């Protein structure tokens, strides 16, 4: 199975900060990776597909990059509604696997 490792596990940041989340795959997955945002008590929401393509309706402050084994999700200017947990998901091979999540908290 491909292991997805996210870092950091959590971070504290202020509104307006630029934050970068990282996801590393245990083997190359091309760009077969998506990012999802989850708020407490809610289902995850799609943000990025194919590592760097922004989902329709997602604010442009979100961006993704990377290929192979290292990927990043950047929020250019953190907004109050962005405080949530973020997960990466690889769909290069079965079983699909999620990272353990990065929780973004208010400083």
Partner 1 sequence: QVQLVQSGAEVQKPGTSVKVSCKASGYTFTGYYMHWVRQAPGQGLEWMGWINPNSGGTNYAQKFQGRVTMTRDTSITTAYMDLSSLRSDDTAMYYCARVRLYSGTYYFDYWGQGTLITVSS
Closest separation in Å from C-beta 2 to partner 1: 11
Residue at token pair 């990059």: 65
- Stretch in the footprint of partner 1 (CB under 8 A) among 11-19, 35-43, 58-66, 69-77: 35-43
Distance CA 20, CA 63 (A): 10
Residue 44 engages partner 1 in binding (rule: CB under 8 A): yes
Under 8 Å between Cβ of 48 and 64: yes
- Interface with partner 1 (CB under 8 A), residue total 25
Under 8 Å between Cβ of 4 and 88: yes
Neighbours of 72 (CB within 10 A): 16
Closest separation in Å from C-beta 52 to partner 1: 11
Identity of the residue, 16 or 41, whose beta carbon is nearer to partner 1 in the bound complex: 41
Residue at token pair 């998901």: 89
Identity of the residue, 42 or 107, whose beta carbon is nearer to partner 1 in the bound complex: 42
Identity of the residue, 43 or 107, whose beta carbon is nearer to partner 1 in the bound complex: 43
Neighbours of 83 (CB within 10 A): 16
Closest separation in Å from C-beta 82 to partner 1: 19
């Amino acid at each position: 199975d491909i292991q997805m490792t996210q870092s950091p596990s959590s971070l504290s940041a202020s509104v307006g900060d630029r934050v970068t989340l990282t996801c590393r795959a245990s083997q190359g997955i091309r760009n077969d990776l998506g990012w999802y945002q989850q708020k407490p008590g809610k289902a995850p929401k799609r943000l990025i597909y194919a590592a760097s393509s922004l989902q329709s309706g997602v604010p442009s402050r979100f961006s993704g990059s990377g290929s192979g084994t290292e990927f990043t999700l950047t929020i250019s200017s953190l907004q109050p509604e962005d405080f949530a947990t973020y997960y990466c998901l690889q769909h290069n091979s079965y079983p699909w696997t999620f990272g353990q999540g990065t929780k973004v908290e208010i400083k």
